[in-house]
Amino acid sequence: MSTAMEMQSAPNLSADSPMIETHGLTKQYGQLFALKDLDLTLYRGDVYGFIGPNGAGKTTTMRILATLLNPTRGEAYVCGHSIYNAPKEIRRMIGYMPDFFGVYDDMKVIEYLEFFASAYRIKGEARRKICAEVLELVDLTYKRDALVTSLSRGMTQRLGLARVLLHNPQVLLLDEPASGLDPRARIEIRALLKQLRSMGKTILVSSHILPELADICNKIGIIEQGQLIVNGTVEDVMTQARTERILHIQVAGRPQHEAADLLISREEVETVDLRGGVLIVKLKRPDIRHSALAQNLIEEGFELMLFKEEEINLETAFMHLTKGITS
């Protein structure tokens, strides 16, 4: 997308400067807080999964960052620019895709993109080139002459992504990009987001398709009642949500029941069950280190065929860490 890069001046930021930064960001309607004291920092290349129930404050946050909504108080910077002092500069640096967006009934796909490219003042041959490039990126080249209204929901979402990429934004704000899509379209959107991540974009993406976010994002935030209650790497969030630690163990060389007897005698082990030839071992606390169990089994003449910790997925973490309350 070199053409688009030439059409936009890059922000004067060092490699370790935040691309999105908020301090005490708050939006209040009377006594109701749609967003309360949000502190958030994203760096170049971060893909941040913004998770929360409907009405939690995700869309409010994105609209403020996109300079479409003024906060009640607090500060936010996008690409080093303040939302108060430099909204025009921010809009040049971001691509904002709302959960639902309008299209023009009588426009072809290529006409739709060229219309918005002209709004970004991309002209002539450069405009034709960038429109062709983004169509190829979202795999819609074969639909360039189709009417926008003839597209499926999944194709329309991909067209929406193509539109926000025309000016090669440094930051993408994607509000529920996979909302209402069938399984195949969700897979296509996920693959596209991975490709954008590989291009070094900073992406803030909200979604209710929780397991898929873990595969796309390197950071996760869980928001509820307008407050960010969890914020960190995917691994940190999983650890915080873990309420128990379970191991799957399979041995050879000696009978499984002897391994079970050895394990249950250990102080850190709460229960041992045998299921389908695999020992399911529950530890007494989630913070217990379990490497000593493997060492003990080997010392007693067991050959380890399987020794792994049961994983917690993002959906389970979300249910553990939230109460389902909205503002």
Residue 186 has pLDDT above 70, yes or no: yes
Beta strands in the chain (DSSP E): 18-29, 32-43, 47-51, 73-78, 81-82, 94-97, 171-175, 202-206, 219-224, 227-233, 246-252, 269-275, 278-283, 303-309
Contact 290, 21 (CB under 8 A): no
Look up residue 43 and give its two tokens. 């760096």
Residue 1 has pLDDT above 60, yes or no: no
Residue 211 has pLDDT above 50, yes or no: yes
71-129 pLDDT, tens per residue?
999 999 999 999 999 999 999 999 999 987 776 778 999 999 999 999 999 999 999 99
Residue 70 has pLDDT above 90, yes or no: yes
**Which of the given ranges, 93-102, 161-170, 180-189, has the highest pLDDT on average?**
161-170
Nearest to 151 by CA among 204, 196, 98, 112: 112
Q: For residue 209, what pLDDT is reported?
A: 59
What is d(CA 253, CA 298) in angstroms, rounded to the nearest whole number?
10
233-258 pLDDT, tens per residue?
877 776 766 667 789 999 998 999 99
C-alpha distance from residue 185 to each of 27, 99, 160, 189, 251 (Å):
34, 15, 14, 6, 42
Across 60-64, 233-237, 265-269, 288-292, least confident range: 233-237
What is d(CA 25, CA 20) in angstroms, rounded to the nearest whole number?
12
Q: What dihedral do alpha carbons 8, 12, 15, 18 form, nearest 10°?
A: -100
Q: For residue 318, what pLDDT is reported?
A: 63
As a whole number, mean pLDDT of residues 272-285 equals: 90
What domains are there in the chain, each with its CATH number? 2-240 (3.40.50.300), 243-311 (3.30.70.100)
* The residue to which tokens 């760096």 are assigned: 43
122-152 pLDDT, tens per residue?
999 999 999 999 999 999 999 999 999 999 8
- What average pLDDT does the chain have? 86
Question: What is the number of alpha carbons within 13 Å of residue 9 lying toward its C-beta?
Answer: 5
Q: For residue 14, what pLDDT is reported?
A: 64
Residue 5's pLDDT band (boundaries 50, 70, 90)?
very low
Across 2-11, 35-44, 96-105, 180-189, least confident range: 2-11
